Structure 1
């Protein structure tokens, strides 16, 4: 049975990889429609022939790798369950202590370490691609340092979350999903509060924006948007990447306006102001809280579906896995597999909502700055700098894009300029 399932998964994964490769490298078209050729939305008008070639290559490889990682993750969970590794991880923890608060962290460490090792080739491939195409500038040793920081942060947070979750499953057999959902509200709010001041500084160095004149202009926009900020933070990212970014994050007293130094180095001040106005638009339109509400709604459905399915799955295959009940930590890979599949199924809807919010933020920014040239310039430079595809294939857009495509954003700007009353 185990051998048959393994072979079926290998064959299915290979067929999937072949189809995705054919789709991305042979069937999909990355060009812009004829109606927009020669306009600001046409990359041929602002990218060199070599940049266009590199952009298309990088986009295809990056998308291919991203699509491969989804079923690959599912395969890991099936492998851990089917070959008895989950039972071994639990037994190792029980050999140290019979206490659940010891068994769970030990299990999480072993499962996370195994997953990290198995997925490392994909991570390394992804990094190698970004280095090859000039996006990633980080030394391998520094990259590994960040990987280890992420690994141990994930271990700590996951141990707490899973420990509490399985306590609830054991304590409330029929209502654990509702109890777990109730705890998500304070947890997510707490994470939003501490992320900017506790977790983010573990990866990067934050300082006050060195360009005080630009900082004053940004704070002027913040004041106009009623954002309570008295400084702008700059992140030293040029040692890690050539990509650009800016954001407004945090809640309450931990709210921060943040700029990567790559953004200030590569964009003109008016372009930076447009980007910051976009980020402030998210704050003004309460997208942060909207994301929180959306996450809570989706998690409610996800936890309930997991409750309905996990019991049936364990009843059918639990003995083969060495799981004595649903509350046995051995069932964790099955629960993670359910969450991952549900997340994949829901992703087109979530991303569509995100794209709508991003377009609203674009419109807010252009109305606030009233500078179409700066907006167009910033989007075109972002495209060149990150080698983004202007018009990605439909599957890439629906399953990977949380922002409107650059073609859509540039078309919106062109429409705004055409609709603006002439002076």
Structure 2
């Protein structure tokens, strides 16, 4: 038999659906039940989180705290922008403390319940304190800019407000990897070795302007595996967390990094900013329409009669929470589309379909493997494990003849240990 005939016979023996099912079957029994329970519980967490935001902001309005903070700020300064900043400081601090019990339950106790958090309560509260500090610095600036356009353009502030928010989002994408992320984790250069060389070789091959790879000490907080190519222009940084290095094979690391490089090469940061500009615009249009009507009906009892008064901030946040809940299927679909593109790019760049399928199974620790189409459309901001494994096996079937002989055979996913 000639080589071509041999390869054709091998390709014919490879069945995509069988190979995909072999991977999916590695996550079964209690492990699958725990994965499904965790992710499906997230549906309720999303709705309860929105309800809690509405209740907290409604309470701040109902108790008159918002109007009192606004009056106190007015007594201290006649400058509108400074008044907004002085209002925003107690608002962010108080509402941040009010929501903290929910945050502790959802992000600490629930994560420990499902075996995904490694952090002590003290460490968790320390990180939450840092987050609150960042919010107290950035939040008042965002609020001052938004209320500035509300005062100056009462009929078109929905348009200018969108520009303000998107501008801050852009600055965040540019600066967060360098100035904010290191507040929560240590970033150290990856040690020399074959894996680092492979990652940088893929980066050079795809014209990603990075000459180093950083390892994040995420294991002090979580068991989750993760990586990213973050930043814009001069702040571009290739990072992977230590869990990815410690819990996966070199083939899996390479597959993940191929995916992350895809986000950069395909300009997903820019595309996401453009797509979310449309979402932000829709939310601001809703706020522009709904907030005056809400204040007309309840503003008298709240002591808030004008959208331009910083005391209206809880009303804006309350309505935004409701709008973003309704927008969940759209925002998730935007992200999931980009993730699908990065998956396809990563398979071509890394050429590790089995490594990619192995990673998809590991991600099932906190992401349901086989959701319905409706579930995936509404609740998934990444492709499901089934779709990722199936895509990887389709890629393998198409490129079987190009792979090294050792990688042409049906993989043995039963060697994978998914459970913590």
By the TM > 0.5 criterion, same fold? Answer: yes
Aligned to 1:262: 243
2:59 maps to 1:79: yes
Alignment counterpart, residue 350 of structure 2, candidates 354, 359, 369 = 369
Measure the CA separation in 1 of the matches of 2:295 and 2:341: 45
Aligned to 1:109: 89
Shift of 1:422: 4.3
Measure the CA separation in 2 of the matches of 1:409 and 1:287: 19
Aligned to 1:277: 258
Distance 1:47 1:304, change over 3 A: closer
Q: Secondary structure at the match of 2:229?
A: strand
Distance 1:181 1:99, change over 3 A: same
Shift of 1:51: 2.2
Measure the CA separation in 2 of the matches of 1:265 and 1:348: 34
Q: Deviations over 1:238-263 (max 9, x none)?
A: 11111110000101111000000111
Q: Where does structure 1 differ by over 6 angstroms across 4 or more consecutive aligned residues?
A: none
- TM-score, normalised on structure 1? 0.84
Q: Secondary structure at the match of 1:247?
A: strand
Q: Secondary structure at the match of 1:238?
A: helix
Shift of 1:212: 3.2
Q: Deviations over 1:273-316 (max 9, x none)?
A: 11000011111111111001112222223223322322233233
Contact 2:175 2:235 in 1 (8 A): yes
Shift of 1:102: 4.5
2:191 maps to 1:210: yes
How many residues are aligned here? Answer: 387
Contact 2:354 2:392 in 1 (8 A): no
Show structure 1 runs of 5+ residues with no match: 1-35
Alignment counterpart, residue 223 of structure 1, candidates 204, 220, 232 = 204
2:277 maps to 1:296: yes
1:91-130 residue pairs with structure 2 within 5 A?
91-94=71-74, 96-126=76-106, 127-130=108-111
Aligned to 1:409: 388
Shift of 1:329: 1.0
Aligned to 2:7: none
Aligned to 1:313: 294
Alignment counterpart, residue 178 of structure 1, candidates 153, 156, 159 = 159
Aligned to 1:140: 121
Distance 1:421 1:243, change over 3 A: closer
Q: Secondary structure at the match of 1:40?
A: helix
Aligned to 1:49: 29
- TM-score, normalised on structure 2? 0.85
Contact 1:42 1:407 in 2 (8 A): no
